[in-house]
Structure 1
Amino acid sequence: MEKTKPCTSTKRQKQNPPSVDRLSGLPDAVICQILSFLPTKRSVATSILAKRWRFLWTHVPNLDFDGENHNIINRVIMLHKVQSLTTFRLRYTYNCEDYEFETWITIAIARNVQNLDIRLDYQFMLPRCLFTCKTLVNLTLHNCVCIPSSDAVSLPSLKKLGFYSVRYQVDEALPHLLSCCPVLEELIIDGIVDTDLFCYDIFSPTIKVLNVFLFYHRFGYDPNVEIKINAPALRYLQLRDYVCKQISAQMLTSLIQANIVCCCFHDGEHDYYFQSVVKFIDSLCNVKYLKLRSDMELEPDGDFADPSECIRRFDNLTKLELVVDWRFFTKFLESADNLEILVIRKVDGSKKCNWVKPKQVPTCLLSHLRTVRIDHFGSTKHELKLVKYLLKNAKVLKRMEVYSPKHEFDFKAKFDALRKISLFQRGSEACELAFH
């Protein structure tokens, strides 16, 4: 008798049970929360999935438009039912009339929007109602104009403010706006300097994070821009300046981390700018981690405040990265007794080091400095002298790393430099030397 073969289809069903649509089994509120992570265009597209999904997107608390036609935006906003918007994002919309843009923003504000992100590739006017929105928590603006300087402004809930290529028109606009943001914690100013503005006056008793990046879109201009910072609660500062004639700050007593880039591309203001940078660095004296980069290089007998002449103590500084005139290096060695990690590098293209030997061995070398890294090492007399000094006097040093530029060093030159350094006296027997 022939044996009956088992039914393969039944076996396959047992191995691969039918899939379950778990997503449709979720409550509407949960599905809307999931859809809120999608751009609005994709969220609307889910309306074709099933009858239940047809209008779910209208209850999603976010509206995120990126490149959509103005007619689409108008229709979506008209059908959208949420009266408390979490996020309204508008990017690179085309064929948009000024009155339409103003209407969209006004509707978002009327719906108690919390996060507003507007970035267009042309300059646009802001409706006045934006600056009296009680619910805004996060505001990001690109390419806008006419920040009010005297009109009524009240943003009582705003915690994060980002300005990208924004025109302020008058100096009073920025400080006036900041004074009306009583709980602001983070401020970003990033973009092309407007010739109408002569001073970025950043005064806020509440901001904890500040990012400033200023550049100019053409060369050969007459620099007349200043940055003034008064932020006693500031904990993190990132400043990249390529245009200013002067930088100043009140004492930043709460600062923990700072990343500073100061470059001077204009003639006639070089020494004046350098002096302001030296004084500005002193206002950072409570910082724990400092990264400082500047392409400025002055003659030893120049008429300026020598950074190697210490003014402030940097008692909290534990990590320091420098790409500067090396006179700053001496300044920090003598004033940062608790320095543990040091990273230094010559200014790109510099043939000088301008290193001034401390009058006595700094305290940090005797008790705290454990790691040193020297980048872009060129094996010049002054660089070898610096390495020799550090190896000899750093009594608790655990590791020194020396990195040479590959395009400048051949194997023999690299071997000779390593041989010289390996013969230097070491104040710490535990110190490891690595040459890359």
Structure 2
Amino acid sequence: MEYFDEISELPEHLLSNILSIFYDDFDHISEVSEPLLPYILSFCPTKDAVRTSILSSRWRSLWTYIHNLDFSFSMDASGIEGFVEFVDRSMSLHKGFKIQKFRLSFGYRERFAPNVNKWIRLALEKQVELLDLDFLGLPSSANIPHGIKLHHFFAFYSSANYYPNTFDLSTSFFHVGSSLKVLKLTHCILKSNSLDGLGSLKTLCLSHVRLNGSFLEFIAGCPMLEDLDLEDCDGIPHFQISSPNLQLKLKRLKIHTCIDFKIIEIDAPNLISLDISGLASSDRKFYLKNISALLHASLNLYYVFVEDSLEQGGSGYCLKTILGDVCHAKVLTI
């Protein structure tokens, strides 16, 4: 709806006050003009937004125009099947022309692949700008039912019976995703052409993702990428983010505990922030060059000390080398 554009810059303090009225003093929400209501509902969990449809005829379809959709599974009587059915119905009833943010978090099962594929395509067709797909779906304490011990709940979630399947994103969805600016993926599989078509993407966050192919080929389709965050990713022994053929705009890079990355090669003239953590072993090599713009560097690297570890080829020497490469940063955290 066009009025979303007019109120997208609503001051944060005003939005906070309106949401407070919505949750704590519902009688006064009727005084808010109707064009503003879907915007307010967009900042509520989607499940709560949908529930407002039973209030009156005025509210029946307001939620279908919200521009933020947030679906996070929580343990309740409906179970995982009920959650998938709820998302299916919500997506099919959504009438807005644009989705600004789409977030999905649940323990994925392969039998739900057709459903998930459909949801992603619908979000992309509606020019989503932030897409957050978490197929691990570990719960926060807020989603744990009352009366269940926290440690018992997480023990169940980590059991072999629950542990979710990995979602395969090998087939590119993003040829229609030119408006996507932020992409967050957890617990899935990507191949080198999976991200083709993301010409507007500025932020890419990958967690527990298996990468099949050259990393240079992954980012070749993302010419505007500025922020790259990798955590517990695997599948490629040579992580390379340097190429004379790519005009990299990368400004911030984080690599945390990606143990498969045996060679890390970075050539990024616009890089201002670098954050690396994990094992500095004798079989890991770091090649950092052309990073003179670096302002902030954080190194949380550890190694097992042995007598020759500081000699060339030892794990200590690896740490010594990378320290030399980033010592010019204005802020250095070790």
Q: 1:115 aligns with which of 122, 130, 149?
A: 130
Measured in 2, the distance between the counterparts of 1:268 and 1:75 equals 63
- 1:166 alignment partner, SS class: strand
1:199 equivalent in alignment to 2:241? no
Measured in 1, the distance between the counterparts of 2:267 and 2:175 equals 23
Match of 2:72 in 1: 66
Structure-to-structure mapping, 1:26-425, within 5 angstroms:
26-67=32-73, 69-93=83-107, 97-121=112-136, 122-126=165-169, 127-130=171-174, 133-149=177-193, 153-170=196-213, 172=214, 174-192=215-233, 194=234, 196-203=235-242, 205-216=248-259, 225-242=262-279, 245-265=284-304, 270=309, 271=311, 272=313, 273-292=315-334
Residue type matched to 2:319 in 1?
V
Given that 2:177 and 2:197 are in contact with CA atoms closer than 8 Å, whether structure 1 keeps it comes out as: yes
Q: Cα gap change, 1:159/1:94 in structure 2, threshold over 3 Å: closer, same or farther?
A: closer
Measured in 1, the distance between the counterparts of 2:176 and 2:277 equals 31
Measured in 2, the distance between the counterparts of 1:215 and 1:167 equals 10
Measured in 2, the distance between the counterparts of 1:80 and 1:268 equals 64
Q: Cα gap change, 1:264/1:154 in structure 2, threshold over 3 Å: closer, same or farther?
A: same
Measured in 2, the distance between the counterparts of 1:147 and 1:141 equals 13
Measured in 1, the distance between the counterparts of 2:174 and 2:307 equals 42
Structure 2: gaps spanning 5 or more residues: 1-24, 74-79, 137-164
Measured in 2, the distance between the counterparts of 1:279 and 1:116 equals 37
Measured in 2, the distance between the counterparts of 1:131 and 1:281 equals 40
Residue type matched to 1:103 in 2?
K
- 1:113 alignment partner, SS class: coil
Q: Which runs of 4+ in 1 moved over 3 A?
A: 19-22, 93-96, 265-271
Given that 1:70 and 1:94 are in contact with CA atoms closer than 8 Å, whether structure 2 keeps it comes out as: no
Measured in 2, the distance between the counterparts of 1:134 and 1:53 equals 33
Given that 1:70 and 1:93 are in contact with CA atoms closer than 8 Å, whether structure 2 keeps it comes out as: no
Structure 1: gaps spanning 5 or more residues: 1-18, 217-222, 293-436
Cα shift at 1:226: 1.5
**Cα deviation digits, residues 230-285 of structure 1 (max 9, x gap):** 21111111110226611121131111111111223598994423333333222224
Given that 1:252 and 1:286 are in contact with CA atoms closer than 8 Å, whether structure 2 keeps it comes out as: no
Measured in 1, the distance between the counterparts of 2:90 and 2:308 equals 54
Q: Cα gap change, 1:199/1:30 in structure 2, threshold over 3 Å: closer, same or farther?
A: same
Given that 1:66 and 1:93 are in contact with CA atoms closer than 8 Å, whether structure 2 keeps it comes out as: no
TM-score (norm 2): 0.72
Measured in 2, the distance between the counterparts of 1:207 and 1:159 equals 9
Cα shift at 1:60: 0.2
Q: Which has the higher contact order (CA 8 A, sep 6+)?
A: 2
Given that 1:214 and 1:243 are in contact with CA atoms closer than 8 Å, whether structure 2 keeps it comes out as: no
Residue type matched to 2:59 in 1?
W
**Which one has a larger percent helix, Structure 1 or Structure 2?**
2
Residue type matched to 1:136 in 2?
L
Larger Rg: 1
Measured in 2, the distance between the counterparts of 1:267 and 1:70 equals 53
Measured in 1, the distance between the counterparts of 2:255 and 2:231 equals 6
Measured in 2, the distance between the counterparts of 1:94 and 1:136 equals 23
Q: Cα RMSD (Å) of the superposition?
A: 2.5
Given that 1:60 and 1:82 are in contact with CA atoms closer than 8 Å, whether structure 2 keeps it comes out as: yes
Which shifted more, 270-279 or 80-89?
A: 270-279
Given that 1:246 and 1:277 are in contact with CA atoms closer than 8 Å, whether structure 2 keeps it comes out as: no
Cα shift at 1:83: 2.0
Given that 1:234 and 1:255 are in contact with CA atoms closer than 8 Å, whether structure 2 keeps it comes out as: yes
Cα shift at 1:84: 1.1
Given that 1:137 and 1:159 are in contact with CA atoms closer than 8 Å, whether structure 2 keeps it comes out as: yes
**Cα deviation digits, residues 147-180 of structure 1 (max 9, x gap):** 325x78121111111000111123x1x2112222
Cα shift at 1:100: 1.3
Measured in 2, the distance between the counterparts of 1:246 and 1:268 equals 19
Residue type matched to 1:283 in 2?
D
Measured in 1, the distance between the counterparts of 2:208 and 2:128 equals 23
**Cα deviation digits, residues 408-430 of structure 1 (max 9, x gap):** xxxxxxxxxxxxxxxxxxxxxxx
Measured in 2, the distance between the counterparts of 1:58 and 1:259 equals 44
